Amino acid sequence: MFQDASIHSLIPTTLLLLCLDAGYVLAASEGSGLDRCPDYVANHAPLVWLHPEDRFMPSDLSAHIVNTIPKLNEQPISGPSSIDLSNLGELNSYGGEDVALTAKEDPLTYPTWILGEAPDASGRIANSVPCAVILVEKSEVDIDAFYFYFYSFNEGPNITQVMEPINHLVGDENLSSGMHFGNHVGDWEHNMVRFHNGTPVGVYYSQHVDGVGFKWDDSTVNITDGRPIVYSALGSHANYPQRGHQIHNAAMFDYCDEGKLWNPAQSAYYYRFNPDSFTVTPIISPFEPSATEPAQNYTSWFEFTGHWGDISYPDSDPRQETVPHFGLKRFNSGPNGPRFKHLIRKGLVRDHAREMGWKEWAVGVFMYWYPCCIRGWRLWRSLGIMAVMMSAFVLAVVYGIRRLKTWKQRQVYTKLKNDDIPMEELRREEEFLIGSDDEEDDHRR
């Protein structure tokens, strides 16, 4: 009897231990899963068409750092003796966002390292790592996978990429000769694919200072074998879902075409983003199924808050030019890194739109109306319509003023009419006053 009772008392304890053990195994399994990139992140990773005439290919992150010098206010920093991906973040203590990785050689000499490396026939870049994949876990079933692409040089547009009639306003001798403006050393671009339960539901394309997002099944998005096709623009490397001429910033356009196909996910570092600490943790690549730990442990480069290229050259520098009327520079400052690319967002695009300068706003308004109302003979038609509308407005104002005056005069007359004293009452008051005077005279007598 006591033996049966003892057995019954052990049953709950045993079940509790089994549950705890199962929970520990499950937690360990989930933890290991978080340390490895899911296969679907690679299976649905973007494929990038590089423009056939683009000479600036994807670039190795380490090679870029080796060929630059950290500077602050154009002066070399007397910091660590050597800088690489493992300690780049240490530069933050010397100047924060003002630190710039400045090219050792003149970018206009186009040294080999600044040209990057082209992918082979399989789409792989064998000798460089120009991509970083960062996973942002929004919930247990929702993940944003950011695919960051790095190029050592961004070549901006020239006069042929400025739309009519703005091109007539910015033209000068240097621009007419084909000079590019908006160039900078270092260039970070990216796509983001949003997953729900491992299924892609949306994709984002970075484009210059902006970007655009689409639902996965949007007809604009070209999906091949479950992977979104991306067109990298000539020189600028802005990302678009379709080939051809792509308008940006209201009055300029990019060239997109199919040159060499690049598979960025094959040559990438993989990370998990920690939103609380705003840091990244290396995870195992999906292309290393037998690995038990990440192949690298570089995280300091992500913490770097400075510029990945030269600071915009001063006007005294012979390499610098200024576009007439609009103030655009031939050379801009290099960009900041992925930590500044709005990794935490609710929708596919950044939560808060960037502030637009008044010149850009004015150009946008002008270019919106130009095709239908300003171009060529349409200007005279628009001016005629505006003249008629202005005349009608003036006539309406004059008519309204006259009507208002007439109405006020009627109001004054009505008030006077209401205050009139009838003649009969005046006679009665006059007789009363006369009678009062007679009585007073009699009284005096």
Tell me the sheet residues that pair with 284: 36
- The burial of 158, by beta-carbon neighbours within 10 Å (0-12 exposed, 13-18 middle, 19 or more buried), is given as middle
Residue type, 145: A
The whole-angstrom separation of Cα 312 and Cα 242 is 32
Chain mean pLDDT for the chain: 85
User: Where does the pLDDT of residue 9 fall: very low under 50, low under 70, confident under 90, or very high at 90 and above?
Assistant: very low
pLDDT at 411: 74
Q: Which two tokens stand for residue 296?
A: 């690298």
The whole-angstrom separation of Cα 370 and Cα 385 is 15
| Nearest in space to 125 (alpha carbons), one of 79, 187, 68, 60 | 60
25 vs 418, residue with greater confidence:
418
SS3 153: strand
SS3 234: coil
Whether 82 has a pLDDT exceeding 50, the answer reads yes
Q: What is the DSSP letter of 236?
A: T
Asked if residue 149 lies in contact with residue 264, where contact means CB atoms within 8 angstroms, the answer is: yes
Asked if residue 282 lies in contact with residue 270, where contact means CB atoms within 8 angstroms, the answer is: yes
Q: Which two tokens stand for residue 156?
A: 């901006």
Taking only the tens place, the pLDDT of each residue in 177-195 is 678 999 999 999 999 999 9
Whether 207 has a pLDDT exceeding 90, the answer reads yes
| Nearest in space to 108 (alpha carbons), one of 330, 263, 299, 374 | 330
Whether 125 has a pLDDT exceeding 90, the answer reads yes
Mean pLDDT of 395-416: 81
Asked if residue 333 lies in contact with residue 309, where contact means CB atoms within 8 angstroms, the answer is: yes
Mean pLDDT of 397-423: 75
Asked if residue 171 lies in contact with residue 317, where contact means CB atoms within 8 angstroms, the answer is: no
299 vs 392, residue with greater confidence:
299
Mean pLDDT of 27-37: 55
Task: Compute how many other C-beta atoms are within 10 angstroms of the C-beta atom of residue 314.
Answer: 9
User: Cβ contacts of residue 51 below 8 Å, gap of 6+?
Assistant: 231, 232, 233, 234, 235, 255, 256, 257, 259
Q: According to the per-residue pLDDT averaged within each range, which of 11-15, 143-147, 372-376 is highest?
A: 143-147
pLDDT at 37: 95
Q: Could you give the percent of the chain with pLDDT greater than 70?
A: 79
Taking only the tens place, the pLDDT of each residue in 292-311 is 888 888 999 999 999 999 99
Whether 29 has a pLDDT exceeding 60, the answer reads no
Q: What is the DSSP letter of 178?
A: T
User: Cβ contacts of residue 19 below 8 Å, gap of 6+?
Assistant: none
Q: Which two tokens stand for residue 348?
A: 């596919």
pLDDT at 235: 96
The whole-angstrom separation of Cα 311 and Cα 314 is 9
Q: List the chain domain ranges.
A: 35-358, 379-435
Mean pLDDT of 8-31: 40
Q: Could you give the percent of the chain with pLDDT greater than 90?
A: 58
- Describe the strand order of the beta sheet including 210-215 as a list of residue ranges: 210-215, 199-207, 184-196, 142-154, 131-137, 268-274, 279-282
Q: Compute CA 70 distance to the chain's CA centroid, rounded to the nearest angstrom.
A: 27
Q: How far apart are the first and last CA of the chain?
A: 145
pLDDT at 52: 98
User: Where does the pLDDT of residue 275 fall: very low under 50, low under 70, confident under 90, or very high at 90 and above?
Assistant: very high
pLDDT at 252: 85
The whole-angstrom separation of Cα 373 and Cα 400 is 31
Q: Token pair 């005077």 is at which residue? A: 437
- List the alpha helices (DSSP H) in 263-377: 300-303, 358-369
Q: What is the DSSP letter of 199?
A: E
pLDDT at 196: 98
For the chain, the residue count is 445
Whether 285 has a pLDDT exceeding 80, the answer reads yes
Lowest mean pLDDT among 43-47, 217-221, 246-250, 343-347: 246-250
pTM value > 0.75: yes
SS3 166: helix
Distances (CA, A) of 379 to 192, 269, 339, 359, 360: 43, 55, 47, 22, 22
Q: Token pair 């009284």 is at which residue? A: 443
| Nearest in space to 73 (alpha carbons), one of 394, 312, 380 | 312
pLDDT at 13: 45
> Which residues in 341-367 are b (16+ Cβ under 10 Å) and which e?
bbbebeebbbeeeeeeeeeeeebeeeb
The whole-angstrom separation of Cα 206 and Cα 184 is 17
Mean pLDDT of 332-338: 98
pLDDT at 186: 98
pLDDT at 381: 64
User: Cβ contacts of residue 188 below 8 Å, gap of 6+?
Assistant: 148, 149, 150, 308, 335, 336, 337, 338, 341
Asked if residue 79 lies in contact with residue 115, where contact means CB atoms within 8 angstroms, the answer is: no
Mean pLDDT of 380-387: 70
Whether 318 has a pLDDT exceeding 50, the answer reads yes
